[in-house]
Structure 1
Amino acid sequence: MAISMLGVSEALALGQSLGISASTLTKVFNSSSARCWSSDSYNPVPGVMEGAPSSRNYDGGFASKLMAKDLNLAAESAKDIGQKCPLTSHALEICGSPHFQMWFCVEYTTIKYTELCKDGHETRDFSCVFRHYFSGMDEL
Structure 2
Amino acid sequence: VVISMLPAGQHVEAVYLGDNGLLKNLPSTTLVIDSSTIAPETAKGVAEAAVAAGITFMDAPVSGGVGGAKAGTLTFICGGEADAFERAKPILEGMGKNIFHAGPHGSGQVAKICNNMLLAILMSGTSEALALGVKNGLDPAVLSEIMKQSSGGNWALNVYNPWPGVMDGVPASRDYEGGFLVNLMNKDLGLAFDNAVKNQAPIPMGSLARNLFALHANEGNGGLDFSSIQKFYYREQG
**Shorter-chain TM-score above 0.5:** yes
Deviations 1:62-115 (A, max 9, x none): 00000000000001000001111000110011112xxxxxxxxxxxxxxxxx2x
* Equivalent residue number for residue 173 of structure 2: 55
Structure 2 CA distance for partners of 1:137 and 1:118, relative to 1, 3 Å: closer
Separation of aligned partners in 1, 2:159 and 2:206: 22
Give RMSD over aligned pairs: 1.1
Give the one of 110, 131, 154 matched to 1:13.
Answer: 131
Of 208, 213, 218, the match for 1:118: 218
| CA–CA distance in structure 1, aligned partners of residues 201 and 157 of structure 2 | 29
Q: Identity over aligned residues, as a percent? A: 39
Alignment of 1:81 onto 2:199: yes
Q: Does the CA-based 8 Å contact 2:231-2:237 persist in structure 1?
A: no
* C-alpha distance in 1 between matches for 2:125 and 2:164: 17
User: What TM-score do the two structures reach when normalised by structure 2?
Assistant: 0.49
Counterpart code for 1:40: N
TM-score by length of 1: 0.83
Relative to its length, the structure with more strand (as a share) is: 2
Aligned AA for 1:13?
A: A
The 8 Å contact of residues 161 and 172 in structure 2, kept in 1 or not, is answered as: yes
Look up the SS of the partner of 1:136 in the other structure: helix
State the alpha-carbon separation in 2 of the partners of residues 136 and 94 from structure 1.
18
Larger Rg: 2
Q: How does 1:1-140 map to 2 (within 5 A)?
A: 1-96=119-214, 114=215, 116-137=216-237
Alignment length, in residue pairs?
120
* AA matched with 1:48: V
